[in-house]
Amino acid sequence: MSGTSEGCVRVAAVGDVHLDQDVVGRYRPALEHLGEKADLLLLAGDLTRHGTPEEAACVAREFGGLPVPVVAILGNHDYHSDQQNAVSGVLQEAGLTVLECTSTVLTCNGVRVGIAGTKGFGGGFAGACASEFGEPEMKAFTRHGRELAARFGTALAALDCDVRIALTHYSPVPETLLGEPLEIYPFLGSYHLAQAIDATPGTALAVHGHAHAGSERGTTPGGVPVRNVAHPVIKQAYNVYQLSVSELLTPA
Ligand SMILES: [Fe+2]
Ligand SMILES: [Fe+2]
């Protein structure tokens, strides 16, 4: 099946590559031929091991100068050294687009592909989630996830494009966490992200990482396909998802 036809977009995606000096070169051989297989590449966060600018330089070497546009978000590991702005800066200098509650539009095969992204945060899922009650720390934990999801949802809704893609690090649904211990689900994702995605009808794909022991496939309550592209889950340099715009634009 050719993916280069008019109206089709091939989306490559991977997350949790956790680069440091000893990992540089692991992904590059597969990436050199990316232009033959995909129209863009999404990086779903946890690009570094400890969030240092030095590790970000490794990411820049591995994912810079590719034949397709690269759109990234940061993950919790990329915040670990409190240098997330510097990490983001190194990636942007290498030509990557880095989103955080923001969006970008790329034109691929005549299709305007809109991507909204956020790291997101935990909080859990229906029936087993944190609430804004009690100690200030608990309220702050819960509020952070809700507020990030709301800002991300606003960015997604504001996109003027033919196809919308949601890019997060934390998971919007529990299905793609299958394989992880149930006890840590509230630290792996939040239903607020799914609500933000479902609030804008017509999102074609939601991509996330973070859950290394999770499962690849899920769906939001509103029917949006969700894919966990954490490298330990997909076990290759990237997965490619083909979106057909003619199918997506069928009237409601
Ligand atoms: Fe990770
Ligand atoms: Fe993570």
**Closest ligand by atom to 171 CA:** 2
- The residue-averaged pLDDT of 230-251 equals 84
Q: How far is the CA of 207 from the centre of ligand 1 (A)?
A: 14
* Rounded percentage of the chain residues whose pLDDT exceeds 70: 95
Q: How far is the CA of 33 from the centre of ligand 1 (A)?
A: 25
**According to the model, what pLDDT value does residue 3 have?**
41
Q: How far is the CA of 211 from the centre of ligand 2 (A)?
A: 7
**According to the model, what pLDDT value does residue 4 have?**
53
**Digit-coded pLDDT (tens) for 96-121:** 999 999 999 999 989 999 999 999 99
Q: Cβ neighbours of residue 122 under 8 Å, at least 6 residues apart?
A: 130, 141, 145, 170, 186, 187, 188, 189, 190
DSSP element (H, E) containing 239 = strand 239-244
- Chain Cα centroid distance, residue 156: 13
**According to the model, what pLDDT value does residue 251 have?**
42
Q: Three-class SS string for 78-100? A: HHCCCCHHHHHHHHHHCCCEECC
**CA neighbor of 37 nearest in space, from 251, 236, 252, 249:** 236
Q: How far is the CA of 223 from the centre of ligand 1 (A)?
A: 26
* Residue 5: band (very low, low, confident or very high) from pLDDT cuts 50, 70, 90: low
**CA neighbor of 57 nearest in space, from 34, 28, 86:** 86
**Digit-coded pLDDT (tens) for 142-195:** 999 999 999 999 999 999 999 999 999 999 999 999 999 999 999 999 999 999
Tell me how far apart the alpha carbons of residues 184 and 165 are, in angstroms, rounded to a whole number.
26
Q: How far is the CA of 15 from the centre of ligand 2 (A)?
A: 9
- The letter for the amino acid at 86 is A
**Closest ligand by atom to 75 CA:** 2
For the chain, the average pLDDT equals 94
Q: Three-class SS string for 164-229? A: EEEEECCECCCHHHECECHHHHHHCEEHHHHHHHHCCCCEEEEEECCCCCCCCEEECCCCCEEEEC
pTM of the entire predicted model: 0.95
**According to the model, what pLDDT value does residue 7 have?**
76
Asked whether 197 and 203 are in contact (CB, 8 A), the reply is yes
**According to the model, what pLDDT value does residue 248 have?**
57
Tell me how far apart the alpha carbons of residues 9 and 101 are, in angstroms, rounded to a whole number.
23
**Closest ligand by atom to 189 CA:** 2
**CA neighbor of 129 nearest in space, from 69, 71, 191, 39:** 191
Asked whether 69 and 92 are in contact (CB, 8 A), the reply is no
Q: Cβ neighbours of residue 64 under 8 Å, at least 6 residues apart?
A: 70, 94, 95, 96
* Residue 245: band (very low, low, confident or very high) from pLDDT cuts 50, 70, 90: confident
- The residue-averaged pLDDT of 81-85 equals 98
